[in-house]
Amino acid sequence: MSVIYTVKDFSHLLGLTGFSDTMLNNHFTLYQGYVKNVNILMEKLISMTDQLSIEASELERRFGWEFDGMRMHELYFENMTKEKSEMGGELKEKIEKAYGSYEQWLDCFKAKGMMRGIGWVVLFEDPANGELFTTWVREHEQGLPATGKILLVMDCWEHAYMTDYGLKKADYINSFVNVIDWKTVEKRLSTK
């Protein structure tokens, strides 16, 4: 198998407050599965002689799910930290412009996290006008706004919290908010 994408190591997150090592290690293993499958799919799709076959179509349909599953997990693990982190001025200004205050944005972010079903809550920047908005992305790839710059992602699939929190998703969301790496989030702004 040709390797185009390699697994990133997020083991530095072990010991993260509110996240057991068991839950994190399971999550890393799930992420590694996406990377592996992206490599397999790329190789298979390139080598298929009949691109119009049912097999090729089904693999093609699967590609976005696997690729975004890989990328969304990388963004998620990268926007968490064991260090104390505070939001910088530029991001704070943009959030206040869009939501009135950080607290109002946080209420919105948490409420979206409580949506039923599997998916992600994502804070986006529209690079066309610099505006921020928060939305729900279903599975990994459905509802991703075209050209939207992903600033912050929170995994709301059950595997992200059930090991430690059971059905107490709100508690997981609170723990996640406490470990957001705001420096990394701010670096994702299109102006950086």
Binding site for Fe ion (CB under 5 A): 155, 157, 160
Please report how close the Cβ of residue 37 comes to Fe ion at its closest, in angstroms: 14
Q: Are 94 and 130 in contact (CB under 8 A)?
A: yes
Q: Are 180 and 80 in contact (CB under 8 A)?
A: yes
* Closest-approach residue to Fe ion (CB): 155
Q: Which is nearer to Fe ion, 95 or 156 (CB)?
A: 156
The Cα 63–Cα 60 span in angstroms is: 5
Using alpha carbons, select from 162, 171, 176 the residue that is nearest to residue 123: 176
Give the CA angle between residues 103, 154, 16 to the nearest 5°: 95
Q: Which is nearer to Fe ion, 38 or 160 (CB)?
A: 160
Q: Which is nearer to Fe ion, 151 or 160 (CB)?
A: 160
Please report how close the Cβ of residue 178 comes to Fe ion at its closest, in angstroms: 19
Please report how close the Cβ of residue 73 comes to Fe ion at its closest, in angstroms: 6
Please report how close the Cβ of residue 27 comes to Fe ion at its closest, in angstroms: 6
Q: Which is nearer to Fe ion, 160 or 185 (CB)?
A: 160
Neighbours of 147 (CB within 10 A): 9
